[in-house]
Amino acid sequence: MTHVNLYHRDLGLGPPVIFVHGFPLDGRMWQRQATLAERIRIITPDLPGAGRSPHFDLGQSPATLGHYADAVIDLLDRLELEKATLCGLSMGGYILFEIWRRAPQRIASLIFCDTRAEADSPDIKQNRRAAIQKVIQGRRAEVTEPMLDLLLAPPARQNPDLVDDVRAMMDAVVEEGLVAALQAMHDRPDSLETLRTIVVPALVIVGSLDSLTPPPTARVIQQGISHSRLVEIPDAGHLSPLENPRAFNAALVEFLLGIPGAS
């Protein structure tokens, strides 16, 4: 069974936005966007195997980004949304590219946060394979704990509540979910060519202190999409919506209200 009914939260009224989380997290990473519910409808799914969503049953086949993209498209169907804005962070951004390739007619506009268009380099692929082995051997903490320093910039690492939130999300990803996401990211195609096919309005957001997908990486996405804008979020690392929600939310609202017919 590749079909998964994604668990999701659905808050507020207004133009619908589906927020697709990064790895190894879940839809709670968008909880600091809840204040936007006065102006937009915030839909935050947990991807398969993360948070409260069941994992895929793929048998022996490896998970692909296509499986994740289809799960999000199924959610649009279940919610009877002909179109929505899609906002994805990091792995969520990789999934957005895949949804655009599969079902561009379902997308009103795109928001790419702290993500990249390029496929994995050979070194990163090697790291992913090593990480998969560690998870399979029951050593998942060796994969997730070092990620805290990569995901969060130094100011956020001083905030124990925020660190606890991130750890709780990491702990809520089942082992099969970690392996599937690592494999899907490892195998994902390059999306550089996809950039110039994107014709809907797009916003690219990046934390100024993001060490995983730094500002020059975000600029590649913005320069590749004709109707796009780049906003750098000060004092934030890879998890910009959590680390500086005030600046992140302001950028989101300004973008969404500027789209004709979206407010």
Residues that bind ligand MLT (CB under 6 A): 22-23, 90-91, 185, 212, 238
Q: Toward ligand MLT, which CB reaches closer, 108 or 173?
A: 173
* Beta bridge partner(s), residue 43: 10, 18
Shortest distance (Å) from residue 23 CB to ligand MLT: 4
Tell me how far apart the alpha carbons of residues 178 and 106 are, in angstroms, rounded to a whole number.
Answer: 28
Nearer CB in complex with ligand MLT: 16/237: 237
Residues 6+ apart with CB under 8 A from 110: 85, 86, 87, 96, 100, 198, 200, 201, 202, 203
Q: Please, what is the minimum distance in Å from the beta carbon of residue 255 to ligand MLT? A: 21
Nearer to ligand MLT, 118 or 176 (CB): 118
In the complex, minimum distance from the CB of residue 79 to ligand MLT, in angstroms, rounded to a whole number? 24
> How far does CA 4 lie from the centroid of its chain?
18
Whichever of 81 and 212 has its CB closer to ligand MLT, that residue is 212
Q: How far is the CB of 15 from ligand MLT (least distance, A)?
A: 25
**What's the token pair of residue 200?**
């809907």
Strands (E), 37-185: 41-45, 84-89, 107-113
